[in-house]
Structure 1
Amino acid sequence: MTKWFLFAVILFMSIDAKAQEYSLTFPVMPLHDPFILADQASKTYFLYTSNVPALTGEKRRGTMAYESKDLQHWSKPVVVFTPPDTFWAHDGAWAPEVHAYHGRWYLFTTLHNEANPIPQAAPVGHATYMRGTIIAVAQSPAGPFLPLKQDGPVPPADFMTLDGTLYIDHTQKPWMVYAHEWLQKGDGTMEAVPLTPDLSGASGPPIHLFKGSDAPWLNAEIVPSARSSVYITDGPELFRTKDNHLLMLWSSYEHAHDVTDAGSSYVETVARSRSGEIQGPWEQLEPLVRGDSGHGMLFHTFDGRLMLVLHHPFRNARGKIFEVSDRGDHLAIVRERIDLDGGAK
């Protein structure tokens, strides 16, 4: 009797400890630009976002990661990357994402340095300064991640860029796809730069993919203004469908808007390459999710379901998860998984 009582107590304590370890849910988790990696080896979901000092105790900018076994209950976040003290930039650390590649794990995140200006007259009258995506490497998805390139971002240093993501083409050639900032371009663009096989830097010049104003649903909503309208391009991610179509998820705003307009709503949308290759040409499809939601990233659950995680609203963002259907030449939302995201509105 005593033996079974002790066993029950130990089992209860073990279950309670596990519940405390995974005690967070989406409504209480700050999640701007969320990215979920499903690690098959450990059967663990890693959710990466920018460091929140109040949650981690780490005051420096960087990347933190939550962990989960079921996509509903998450651990307290742990910092997995901070820029080295002597690094070229220490601000930002936006839009982190982690990719498995040749047996190691690679973090892509965007840093900036306002003290290092880019000497260019911006078309919308904003200051331009060094901003771009870096790549860091680790032996585990839990980090720690160490930068590969020390002297600047992977895209050209005189480009103001953000939200770089990894794409591997049909020849196994790696690329970084990124957004070229509206702050520098006015009409933001999507571009791609080829990478060296070890991802340590660029192996050639970047190529243009498309510009924000190419989206017909966006142009239809333009409101004439005496001031300049801008077209924002954010959050690219490449996805190969079951019928071999190449899609790109990306985000913008519901309509072209004045740089002073705070009322425009964030949108998650999709482009499709007519050639099936990164070079395009690219055609714009209808948005997937509206309602001030965006910067979406796709992942597969351990039982094979395709999911989309994004943030809503843009300010004070929280995560939302949608189940997605691969229709061959496009994606469709099946349902919002309110059982996972807490039904946050």
Structure 2
Amino acid sequence: MSVQPAHNAASDVQNPQEGHRLADMPVHDPFVLADSSSDTYYLYSGAAPRLNGVDRHGVLVYKSKDLEEWEGPYVVFAIPDDSWADPQHGAWAPEVHAYNGRYYLFVTLHNEGRPLEGDPVQGYAKHWRGTATAVSDSPEGPFELLNLESPVVPSEQMTLDGTLYLDEEGRPWMVYCHEWVQTLDGTIEAVRLSDDLSSAVGEPILLLSGSAAPWLRSATASESEQSVPSVSDEPPVYVTDGCQLYRTSDGSLNMLWSSYEDGSYVQTIARSASGKLEGPWEQLDPLVKEDSGHGMFFRTFDGEWRLILHRPFKMPESRGYLYPIKDLGDRFGLAE
């Protein structure tokens, strides 16, 4: 599939400015790219008409030299009219990765006008939802969709929050969440990607299920009734989102992911017992609660690990928060 130009909505964002602080910036599903070629931190979040003055959903970026003061926002991607996704139906969980000399955007898009089979679950109808990939020569965009026809994972599956993972041979994978709306017990899965990151290669593999988190069992009166979120007279559901993978100093493979405990967002972490993507994956203690989640790790230009996540879950109140992180050898943990 040839690359097609994206709609440019940069002029629709009103008055980008310098001197922003994280506490002032409404961000959701934050992702930081520490770009060593420019010594600049790029913070990506979704762009929405009612929040950012754009005419369609897309992705915006703030940039900083010190993680204290930020400049922006600037739109780096807007959903084009000729793609499978609807420009008015949202852009979730954007992240940007440097890969093979270019920059690749992973972003979850939607089309509520293209329904999928199956009855609604707790009021949520099934429709096209999945991660798309786009490319640019700059972390500041503009990013152009690699496939205008469909998301990376086949469109009959409701998926979200895809992230790039390179295995021991340097082969690209997308790790993503299979939506609880379709599965009830949400999962995290992985699929090989083509070398240009435009499409899936082969069948996905299951990494873990949301119900595997042992701390969810303490959230309810009995294990047989555990439910996230808790809704009476409805089947229990288990949310998975915000998956990200990192290796520790001893080569252990850790995965960040998020779910809910008693209706409150939780940032948690798992570890592969084999050190490989296939797992098996064992759940570790949550890192942050207090309605916090969808986090990611990055390293500062001084070599220090940081976690950024958002709190609370709902926009427009949601803000980004930074935490210092320790590499504990076989796992990551919050620094004291």
Same fold (TM over 0.5): yes
Match of 2:191 in 1: 193
Match of 1:207 in 2: 205
Match of 1:284 in 2: 283
Which residue, 200, 212, 220 being the options, matches 2:218?
A: 220
Match of 1:46 in 2: 42
- 1:141 maps onto 2:142 in alignment: no
TM-score (normalizing by structure 2): 0.88
Deviations 1:214-251 (A, max 9, x none): 00111232343543221000100001111101111000
Q: What letter corresponds to residue 271 of structure 2 in structure 1? A: R
**Equivalent-residue separation in structure 2 for 1:54 and 1:254 (angstroms):** 29
- 1:80 maps onto 2:93 in alignment: no
Aligned residues: percent identity? 54
**Equivalent-residue separation in structure 2 for 1:21 and 1:50 (angstroms):** 18
**Equivalent-residue separation in structure 1 for 2:43 and 2:250 (angstroms):** 28
SS in 2 for 1:213: helix
Which residue, 248, 251, 259 being the options, matches 1:252?
A: 259
Cα deviation for residue 58 of structure 1 reads: 2.0
SS in 2 for 1:220: helix
Match of 1:100 in 2: 98
Q: What letter corresponds to residue 265 of structure 2 in structure 1? A: Y
Match of 1:170 in 2: 168
Q: Aligned-pair RMSD on alpha carbons?
A: 1.5
Match of 2:299 in 1: 300
**Equivalent-residue separation in structure 1 for 2:242 and 2:124 (angstroms):** 21
* Residue correspondence of structure 1 range 14-29 to structure 2 within 5 A: 21-29=17-25
Q: What letter corresponds to residue 65 of structure 2 in structure 1? A: K
Cα deviation for residue 57 of structure 1 reads: 3.6
Cα deviation for residue 294 of structure 1 reads: 0.2
Match of 1:58 in 2: 54
**Equivalent-residue separation in structure 1 for 2:50 and 2:130 (angstroms):** 26
Contact 1:55 1:76 in 2 (8 A): no
Match of 1:317 in 2: 318
Q: What letter corresponds to residue 285 of structure 2 in structure 1? A: E
Deviations 1:185-209 (A, max 9, x none): 1110001111011111111111111
Relative to total residues, which structure has the larger helix share, 1 or 2? 1
Match of 1:267 in 2: 266
**Equivalent-residue separation in structure 1 for 2:215 and 2:279 (angstroms):** 20
Mean CA deviation greater in 274-283 or 107-116: 274-283
* Residue correspondence of structure 1 range 104-115 to structure 2 within 5 A: 104-115=102-113
Cα deviation for residue 28 of structure 1 reads: 1.3
**Equivalent-residue separation in structure 2 for 1:199 and 1:111 (angstroms):** 16
Deviations 1:252-281 (A, max 9, x none): 0114xxxxxxxx110000011111111111
Contact 1:189 1:212 in 2 (8 A): yes
**Equivalent-residue separation in structure 1 for 2:73 and 2:128 (angstroms):** 29
**Equivalent-residue separation in structure 1 for 2:144 and 2:233 (angstroms):** 47
Which residue, 176, 179, 182 being the options, matches 2:180?
A: 182
Contact 2:122 2:234 in 1 (8 A): no
**Equivalent-residue separation in structure 1 for 2:17 and 2:201 (angstroms):** 43
Match of 1:13 in 2: none
Cα deviation for residue 295 of structure 1 reads: 0.3
Relative to structure 1, the CA distance from residue 234 to residue 32 in structure 2 (aligned partners, 3 Å threshold; closer, same or farther) is same
Long gaps (5+) in structure 1: 1-19, 256-263, 336-345
Match of 2:8 in 1: none
Long gaps (5+) in structure 2: 1-15, 226-231
